[in-house]
C-alpha cells in the first residue's frame, strides 16, 4: 500500500505535521499508523498564546477544550496574574482535525520495522512511501541526560462551582516534596477542574496512587467535593545535557525522527506543542518531500535549536544539580518576578541575550560556587557523543 508520506505514531507531533501538510499540499496522501485502539483522552496539551503563530491558533481552535484570557502563578513570597492567554486541546479534538483535514489514520497498527521507505506492522501489513517520519514518542538514549517532571492529574466534576477563574500554572505554596513541587489547575468549566500534582525530580519513578491522593487532598483543602471523571499521568524529560550532533549522526539513515523521539521539547517545561508546530511548518514547506531531504531540513533545525537551548539546559542543571530539592522553588519564585515579555519569550523558546542576562543577574538564588559547578554540559554526556 502506497502513500506520499507515512507518519509512524498519531500523537501530537505526527498529527500537527499531518495538519500542516494537508493544509499546504491537499494533493498529498498522508497516512498515520498508531498502535493505540483509537484517539486517547489521556492528554490535554496546553500552550500559552504567544507560543504559536495566529494561523495555528485558528487551525487548532476547534480542538480546544479551554481558552483563557490570562493565567496565574502562586509562590510562598508572591502570587501573580500573567497577561498571556492559555489554551488546551485534547486528543479527541486533535484526532477530529486530522480526520477532517483528509489524512488517513489506521489504529491498532503497531509498527515493528520502520525504514526510509517503508513501515511494517506487527500483523504483517507493509506500507510504502517516499517519506517516512517517526513520531512514536520518547526513546531514551545516550545523547540526552534528563531530570524529570512527573505528575498525576485528576479531573473532577465538582458538586458546586470551584471558583477558580483562570489556569494556575504553578501553585507552589504547597509543601515541597520530591524536588520542586507544585499544583497545576485548569478550570475547564465553573464546576470542572483538572488538578495536577507535579514534581521536578531526579528520578523517574512515579507513584500514581500517592500523587493522585495528593491531588484529591488539595481539592479537599479547597473545599471542593465531587467525582473524578478523568485522570492523566506523565513523566516528562527535563533536559540537563544534549548532544544533538551525536544523536543525528546515529540517524543518518532510516526514518526521520520528530517529536519527543527527536528531543523536540522545551528543555525546562518538557512541553512540546510549540516546537512541534515549528517542525510541522518546516516539513510542510519542503519542496522535496523525500525522507533524505526532510531529514536534512529537520536535522538542521534540530542542531540550531539545541544550540539555542544551551542556556535553558544550564538553568536546569542549576535547578537539579545546584539546588537541594526543597529549595528549588526559590529559583522559580524569582523567575516569576521578571517582566512578562521575558516570561513569554522563555515559554515560546525565543529568549534574547538580554533576557538571558536578566534571568541570571542579581542576587544569585544559589551560592555562586555551586552555580559554577553546573556550568559545563559535556561531563554529563556519556557513550557515543
Ligand atoms: C499527560 C501528559 C500531558 C502533557 N501535557 C502537555 C501540555 O499540556 N503541553 C505540551 O506542550 N506538552 C505536554 N506534554 C508533553 C508532550 O508534549 C507530550 O508528551 C506529547 O504528546 C509528545 O508528542 P509526541 O508526538 O512526541 O509523542 P506522543 O504524542 O506520545 O505520540 C506518540 C504516538 O506513537 C504511538 N506509538 C508508540 N509506539 C508505536 C508503535 N510501535 N507503532 C505505532 N504507534 C506507536 C503512541 O500510541 C502515540 O500515539 C504532556 C505529556 C503527557 C504525558
The pLDDT of 243-261, averaged and rounded, is: 97
pLDDT tens per residue, range 13-32: 999 999 999 999 999 999 99
Summarised one tens digit per residue, pLDDT across range 176-211 is 988 999 999 999 999 999 999 999 999 999 999 999
Domain range 144-239, CATH class? alpha beta
For residue range 217-238, list pLDDT tens digits in order: 999 999 999 999 999 999 999 9
The CB of 234 under 6 Å from ligand 1? The reply is: yes
pLDDT averaged over every residue in the chain: 94
Beta bridge partners of 86: 48, 68
Q: Cα(339) to centroid of ligand 1, in Å?
A: 32
Question: How close is the Cα of 11 to the center of ligand 1, in Å?
Answer: 5
108-113, long-range: CB < 8 A, 24+ apart: 108/35, 108/36, 108/37, 109/33, 109/34, 109/35, 110/35, 111/8, 111/9, 111/33, 111/35, 111/136
Question: Looking at domain 5-66+87-142+242-308, does it have CATH number 3.50.50.60?
Answer: yes
How many angstroms is it from 368 CA to the middle of ligand 1? 37
Sign of the dihedral through C-alpha 307, 309, 311, 316: negative
Give me the pLDDT at residue 385, please. Answer: 37
In the chain, pLDDT over 90 holds for what percent of residues? 85
Is pLDDT of 254 > 90?
yes
Q: What is the DSSP string of 325-345?
A: GGGTHHHHHHHTTS-HHHHHH
Q: How confident is the model at residue 10 (pLDDT cuts 50, 70, 90)?
A: very high
pLDDT band of 364, cuts 50, 70, 90: low
CA nearest neighbour of 201 among 169, 173, 235: 235
For 168-183, write each residue's pLDDT tens digit: 999 999 999 889 999 9
pLDDT of residue 76: 96
At 324, the pLDDT band (50, 70, 90 cuts) reads confident
Torsion of CA 288, 293, 295, 296, to 10 degrees: -120
Which of 313, 310, 361 shows the shortest CA–CA distance to 334?
361
Largest CA distance in the chain: 62
Of the residues 12, 94, 257, which should be mutated to test ligand 1's pocket, given the most ligand atoms within 8 Å of the CB?
Answer: 12
Span from the CA of 375 to the centroid of ligand 1 (angstroms): 31
pLDDT higher than threshold 60 for residue 375 = yes
Residue 37's pLDDT is 96
Q: Any long-range contacts for 307-310 (C-beta under 8 Å, 24+ apart)?
A: 307/244, 308/349, 309/239, 309/242, 309/267, 309/349, 310/377
Q: Is the CB of 110 under 6 A from ligand 1?
A: yes
Nearest CA owner, ligand 1 atom 13 = 271
CA distances from 146 to 141, 242, 263, 359, 372 (A): 10, 9, 11, 22, 19
Percent of the chain with pLDDT over 70: 98
Write down the pLDDT at residue 295: 98
The string of pLDDT tens digits covering residues 282-323 is 999 999 999 999 999 999 999 999 999 999 999 999 888 888
Query: 76-134: per-residue pLDDT in tens?
Result: 999 999 999 999 999 999 999 999 999 999 999 999 999 999 999 999 999 999 999 99
Q: DSSP strand E in 91-225: where? A: 104-106, 111-114, 118-121, 126-128, 131-134, 144-158, 168-171, 180-187, 192-201
Asked whether 39 lines ligand 1 (CB < 6 A), one says no
pLDDT score, position 365: 66
Q: How much distance in Å is there from the Cα of 47 to the middle of ligand 1?
A: 15
Domain positions in the chain: 5-66+87-142+242-308, 144-239, 314-380
Amino acid at each position: 500500500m502506497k502513500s506520499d508520506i507515512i507518519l509512524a505514531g498519531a500523537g501530537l507531533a505526527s498529527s500537527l505535521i499531518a495538519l500542516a501538510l494537508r493544509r499546504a499540499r491537499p494533493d498529498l496522501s498522508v497516512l498515520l499508523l498508531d498502535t493505540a485502539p483509537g484517539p486517547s483522552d489521556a492528554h490535554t496539551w496546553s500552550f500559552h498564546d504567544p507560543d504559536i503563530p495566529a494561523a495555528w491558533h485558528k487551525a487548532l481552535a476547534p480542538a480546544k477544550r479551554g481558552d483563557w484570557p490570562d493565567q496565574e502563578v502562586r509562590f510562598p513570597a508572591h502570587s501573580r496574574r500573567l497577561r498571556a492567554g492559555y489554551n488546551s486541546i485534547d486528543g479527541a479534538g486533535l484526532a477530529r482535525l486530522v480526520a477532517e483535514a483528509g489524512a488517513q489514520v489506521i489504529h491498532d497498527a503497531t509498527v515493528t520495522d520502520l525504514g526510509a521507505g517503508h513501515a511494517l506492522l506487527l500483523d504483517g501489513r507493509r506500507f510504502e512511501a517516499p517519506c517516512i517520519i517517526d513520531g512514536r514518542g520518547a526513546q531514551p538514549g545516550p545523547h540526552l541526560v534528563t531530570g524529570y517532571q512527573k505528575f498525576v492529574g485528576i479531573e473532577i466534576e465538582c458538586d458546586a462551582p470551584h471558583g477558580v477563574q483562570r489556569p494556575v500554572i504553578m501553585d507552589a505554596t504547597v509543601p515541597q516534596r520530591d524536588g520542586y513541587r507544585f499544583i497545576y489547575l485548569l478550570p475547564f468549566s465553573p464546576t470542572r477542574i483538572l488538578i495536577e500534582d507535579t514534581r521536578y525530580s531526579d528520578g523517574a519513578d512515579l507513584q500514581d496512587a500517592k500523587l493522585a491522593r495528593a491531588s484529591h487532598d488539595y481539592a479537599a483543602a479547597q473545599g471542593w467535593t465531587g467525582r473524578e471523571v478523568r485522570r492523566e499521568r506523565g513523566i516528562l524529560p527535563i533536559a540537563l545535557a544534549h548532544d544533538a550532533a551525536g544523536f543525528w549522526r546515529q540517524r543518518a539513515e532510516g526514518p526521520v525522527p520528530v517529536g519527543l523521539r527527536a528531543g523536540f521539547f522545551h528543555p525546562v517545561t518538557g512541553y512540546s506543542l510549540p516546537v512541534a508546530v515549528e517542525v510541522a511548518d518546516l516539513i510542510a514547506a519542503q519542496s522535496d518531500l523525500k525522507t533524505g531531504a526532510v531529514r536534512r531540513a529537520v536535522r538542521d533545525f534540530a542542531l540550531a535549536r539545541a544550540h539555542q537551548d544551551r542556556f535553558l539546559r544550564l538553568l536546569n542543571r542549576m535547578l537539579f544539580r545546584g539546588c537541594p530539592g526543597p529549595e528549588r522553588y526559590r529559583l522559580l519564585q524569582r523567575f516569576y518576578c521578571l517582566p512578562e515579555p521575558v516570561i513569554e519569550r522563555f515559554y515560546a523558546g525565543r529568549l534574547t541575550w538580554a533576557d538571558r542576562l536578566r534571568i541570571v543577574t542579581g542576587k544569585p538564588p544559589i551560592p555562586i560556587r555551586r552555580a559554577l559547578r553546573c556550568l559545563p554540559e559535556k561531563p554529563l554526556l556519556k557513550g557515543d557523543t
